[in-house]
Structure 1
Amino acid sequence: MNRKAFDALLTTFSPVYEQTRQTQPRQRAVGGGRKARLLNTQEKLFFIFFYFKCYPTFDWADIIFEMHRSQAHELKHF
């Protein structure tokens, strides 16, 4: 996938991802809990593509993306 196709998909992915986040009830107050390593939807979409191309274990995702395995698991199921 080239950058142009990725950006085109990102314009569709971003609103859907934000809408999904708003419909799920929060478990903690805003600002509570672990801070996210993937800060924007572009990084999250890249991680999703990387995961489905390489299928790393969640421990490897922790090493490569410096994120906790539970966050990697959550993004995988998006």
Structure 2
Amino acid sequence: MDALYFAYGSNLHEPQMTLRCASAVLVEQAILHDHRLTFFGRSSQWDGGGVATVVPASGAQVPGAIYRLSAEDMGPARLLR
């Protein structure tokens, strides 16, 4: 069963998203309201670069995109690669 996934940060780069999730199909651009982008910790996969996440923040917005993914591609490990 397919599912919708809100992508932000590096997952907005469509070629990278399809490398991580072969089934990814871009549906539309989207905005996540009342949240902001922030960075927690460092990535061991990205040469110590920051790891992006979103947190609640009244009035803020996070630009993103909606992708349709297969159930197999929805696993957290695949999305974090």
TM range (shorter): under 0.3
Q: Whose RCO is larger (CA < 8 A, sep 6+)?
A: 2
TM-score (norm 2): 0.27
Larger strand fraction of residues: 2
TM-score of the aligned structures, taking structure 1 as reference length: 0.28
